[in-house]
Amino acid sequence: MRWLLALVALPLGVAAQEPAWLLVAPQRVVAGERFEIIVVAPVDEPLPDTLQLRVKLDVAEFEMRADASAPAEGARRRYHGFLPPRAGGPATLALAGRDSNAIALVIARSDSMQRLTGREQALEEPALSEEDPVYFVIGPRGGWNARFQLSFKYRLFDQSAGFGAERPWLQGFYFGYTQSSLWDLSAESKPFHDTSYRPSLFWRWQRADERTWIDAVRVGVEHESNGQGGESSRSVNTLFVRPEWHWASGRGEIEFTPKAYIYLSNDENPDIAQYRGYVDWRVRHDAGGQWITTALARIGTAGKGSLLVDMSRRTRDIKVGPVSGYLHLQFFDGYGESILDYNVRRRTQLRVGLAIVP
CATH number at residue 193: 2.40.230.10
Residues 95 and 168 in one domain: no
Residues 110 and 161 in one domain: no
pLDDT digit string, tens, across residues 49-95 = 999 998 887 657 788 899 999 999 989 999 999 888 767 778 889 99
Residues 61 and 135 in one domain: no
Contact 147, 137 (CB under 8 A): yes
Residues 210 and 253 in one domain: yes
Share of the chain above pLDDT 90, in %: 52
pLDDT digit string, tens, across residues 243-263 = 999 887 667 789 999 999 999
Residues 289 and 311 in one domain: yes
Domain containing 151: what range?
A: 125-357
Residues 338 and 202 in one domain: yes
Task: For the sheet with 76-82, list strands across it.
Answer: 22-24, 34-40, 76-82, 60-68, 50-57, 89-95, 103-108, 28-30
Residues 273 and 348 in one domain: yes
Given 117, 152, 183, which residue is the final one in a domain? 117
Q: What is the CATH number of the domain that holds 67?
A: 2.60.40.10
Q: What is the pLDDT of residue 221?
A: 98
Residues 230 and 257 in one domain: yes
6 domain residue, yes or no = no
Sort strands 28-30 and 103-108 into parallel, antiparallel or unpaired: parallel
Contact 27, 37 (CB under 8 A): no
Q: What is the helix (H) or strand (E) element at residue 56, kind and residue range? A: strand 50-57
Higher pLDDT, 144 or 118: 144
Integer-rounded Cα radius of gyration of the chain: 22
Residues 31 and 144 in one domain: no
* pLDDT greater than 80 at residue 3: no
Mean pLDDT of all residues in the chain? 85
Neighbouring C-alpha atoms within 13 Å toward the C-beta of 339: 24
Q: How far is CA 178 from the centre of its chain?
A: 14
Query: Which DSSP string do the residues of 321-334 spell out, in sequence order?
Result: TT--SEEEEEEEEE
Q: Count up the domains in the chain and report the number.
A: 2
Q: What is the pLDDT of residue 118?
A: 43
Residues 42 and 111 in one domain: yes
Given 75, 99, 117, which residue is the final one in a domain? 117
Q: What is the pLDDT of residue 5?
A: 46
pTM, two decimals, is: 0.69
202 domain residue, yes or no = yes
